[in-house]
Structure 1
Amino acid sequence: MMTYISGGERSGKSGYAQKLALELSNQPVYLATAKVYDGNFEERVKRHQAERDHRWTSIEEPMYLSQVLPSDKVVVIDCVTLWLANFFSMTKSNRDEALRLAKTEFDKLKEYKGQLIIISNEIGMGLHGDTQIGRDFVELQGWMNQYIAKSADEAIFMVSGLPIKIK
């Protein structure tokens, strides 16, 4: 089973995903895709960690998620945007190659026997990018979001902390 949760920044995606995971399991797994690049982001990561209690197992993997998934668990993957940024960076901002690599890795996740709860951002609803690299990343994110949503059993859009079921 795969649940896809998207929405804008600070829309309540992570909180909703964590609540859902705890409804499904007493021992969920949190799979973080972020790389910490600066002090501001480090503080954000610490806030996220503080939201999770002793019931959670945390795993950090920036790209190859299928290699670290535990067997048959409820897993929250947070988040697609940072995961894609890692591929985008690795390919030196090659949108098409990053999309190919991300789709290849995501296809491996489709075989998972547990419950995946995948969090992503809807960045295409914001301001238009000033630079070509910014516009390329928004396109990459949009295409990957569509790819994941199509495969998901359930899709939720978060607005102002409220879940809207879209699939």
Structure 2
Amino acid sequence: MAEHTRMVDSILDDVLPDVLNTVYGLPEPMPVIRLAESVWTACAEAFYLDELDPTAVTRWREGVGADLRRLLGELAEFGAVELTVAQPDPMYRADLDSDEPGPLSPDAWDRLRAALAPDAGPVELVSIRPAGGGISNAISGRETWPSGTACCWTGCLTTTPMTCSTR
């Protein structure tokens, strides 16, 4: 297992409910990159990364984003979320030109500005499925995954139903 995956897995219980609640409360599909930057920020706050060279930090950040995308893909397979590729709603760019410092680093703001610029093209978006797909259980950490399917972040496979909280 990659180091960035271990890092994310160790904070998953705190991060996943926040990610799902964020998506659940929004009227339009959210750019995955916004969630990925928030998850990376949570990882960077939880771990001492100052001794990593910039190339390693970039690799870990990109790995955290890939791990988040994999998790969202698994949730999409279960019907809890829907993943699409399209132009994001302008509301997801509204705060990026603010002079107010946000919760993310200046580098993260720059990456978001570039990725969500009006001329940047379509991006990955995530939204909650209209029927919910068991999302309230997933948010609360009580989701029971079907037999033989990935049960949690690390994609472990089970042959019997289990709850993600047992990982």
TM-score after normalising by structure 2: 0.30
Which protein has the larger Cα radius of gyration, Structure 1 or Structure 2? 2
> Which structure has greater strand proportion?
1
TM-score after normalising by structure 1: 0.30
> Which structure has greater helix proportion?
2
